Amino acid sequence: MSDQFKQILSLEQKDGGLKGDLSSTNIADLLQFLSSSSKKGVIKVVRHPDKEQGQVYFDGGELVSATSGKLTGLTGFADLLGWQEGSFRFFPGVDAQNRTVGLSVQHAILEAMVSMDHGAGNVREQTAAVMEERGKDMEQAVRGATEVMNDLLEVPGIDAVVIVGRDGFVIDSTGSSLRVNIDVLGASLAHAVNGIEEMGSELSIDHFQDLFIEYGRSVIMCKPVGDAIAAVVTPDASKLGIIRHKTKKLFLELGQSF
């Protein structure tokens, strides 16, 4: 992800500010990248073609405030996540004037995604209700995980999905496992992620969010899902773009189960 963003942003970097187009990325990815590489700042967005304006302030991994037109707070942020056409510009070092969100970037994205799923309403309450419901009945959550994994398997290009505990225990897997030994994959991923987490910790750059490993005959993409790691296996890198796009929400859903 970082290489991709560096490319997008450096090409667009003019007159001191970073700017780009929503056709090359989306607000969630942009925010995750910028908040992991900059201490604080504001992302200002203009939606096309209606010229509606929005902005997101973050500071130290926290989403401080957001607005989308007249919508503010998480509701505004959720609305911004749905913007698909428009331009953005990032101004580093800018402080927010007020505090309308106050959640970690990851948590804010998760809540906004849930909000988008449930339409308008009290985002925080809805999310809390979903989490509490799942907390009360983890069996249901696990069944939900199986369903989400099956949805992942339907994304073009994905031929196996594996959920691995941080200790390397393969919690669940679905799809073709002919290309890789699932148990070995679980252990290897856990070792790799441990190393990567240690590196992130040493460098004080927060937790890992994406990992792509490209081999001659397979590409493995993994993301943290709750306390576990989800990995998808695809035969080559040609569909990685669409896989990343279509799996984002599914990974967030999976995160609620582990």
Partner 1 sequence: MTVMRDTVVKSLAKVTVQGDENGLIPEYEVLVNLLPVALLNSFAERIMAAAPPERKAEVEAGLVRAAYECGYHTGCGIITSESFNEAVMPMVTEGAKDILRGAYAAFTAWGWAKAGIVQLKEGERMVIRAFDYYEADSGGEGLRAYMFRGLSQAFFDLAYADPYPDGMDTYVCQQTKGLEVGDPYGEFIVTKK
Crossing angle for the helix pair 240-255 and 138-153, nearest 10 degrees?
A: 170
Is 190 an interacting residue with respect to partner 1 (CB under 8 A)? yes
Member of 187, 196, 211, 240 binding partner 1 (CB under 8 A): 187
Question: At its nearest, how many Å lie between partner 1 and the CB of residue 246?
Answer: 25
Contact indicator for 7, 24 with CB cutoff of 8 Å = no
Interaction between residue 168 and partner 1 (CB under 8 A): yes
State which residue, 103 or 182, has the beta carbon closest to partner 1: 182
Residue 194 makes contact with partner 1 by CB under 8 A: yes
DSSP 8-state assignment for residue 205: -
Out of 7, 135, 236, 238, point to the residue binding partner 1 (CB under 8 A): 135
Structure tokens at 84: 């698909």
Q: Name the residue nearer to partner 1 (CB basis): 15 or 227.
A: 227
Single out the residue of 241, 242, 230 nearest to residue 160, CA to CA.
230
- Rounded distance between C-alpha atoms, residue 175 and residue 28, angstroms: 28
* Residue 91, helix vs strand vs coil: strand
Task: Report which DSSP code applies to 143.
Answer: H
Total interface residues for partner 1 by CB under 8 A? 23
138 forms part of the interface with partner 1 (CB under 8 A): yes
Q: Applying CB under 8 A, which part among 83-91, 153-161, 168-176, 241-249 lies near partner 1?
A: 168-176
The DSSP symbol for 152 reads H
Q: Which is nearer to partner 1, 59 or 172 (CB)?
A: 172
State yes or no: residue 3 binds partner 1 (CB under 8 A). no
Q: How far is the CB of 138 from partner 1 (least distance, A)?
A: 5
Peptide bond into 49 cis (omega under 30): yes
Q: Decide the pairing of beta strands 62-68 and 18-21.
A: unpaired
Residue 207 touching partner 1 (CB under 8 A): no
Q: Please choose, out of 74-82, 184-192, 206-214, 242-250, the segment that lies near partner 1 by the rule CB under 8 A.
A: 184-192
Question: E strands, the chain, where?
Answer: 18-21, 40-47, 53-59, 62-68, 71-72, 86-92, 103-104, 160-165, 170-175, 211-214, 219-225, 228-234
Q: Does 142 bind partner 1 (CB under 8 A)?
A: yes
* H, E, C per residue of 120-166: CCCHHHHHHHHHHHHHHCHHHHHHHHHHHHHHHHCCCCCCEEEEEEC
- Of 52 and 197, the one with the shorter C-beta distance to partner 1 is 197
Do the Cβ atoms of 257 and 145 come closer than 8 Å?
yes
Binding to partner 1 (CB under 8 A): which residues in 42-81? none
Choice from 15, 139, 178, 204 touching partner 1 (CB under 8 A)? 139
- Does position 227 bind partner 1 by CB under 8 A? yes
- Rounded to the nearest whole angstrom, what is the least distance from the CB of residue 187 to partner 1 in the complex? 4
- Contact residues for partner 1, defined by CB under 8 A: 135, 138-139, 141-142, 165-172, 187, 190-191, 194, 198, 226-228, 257-258
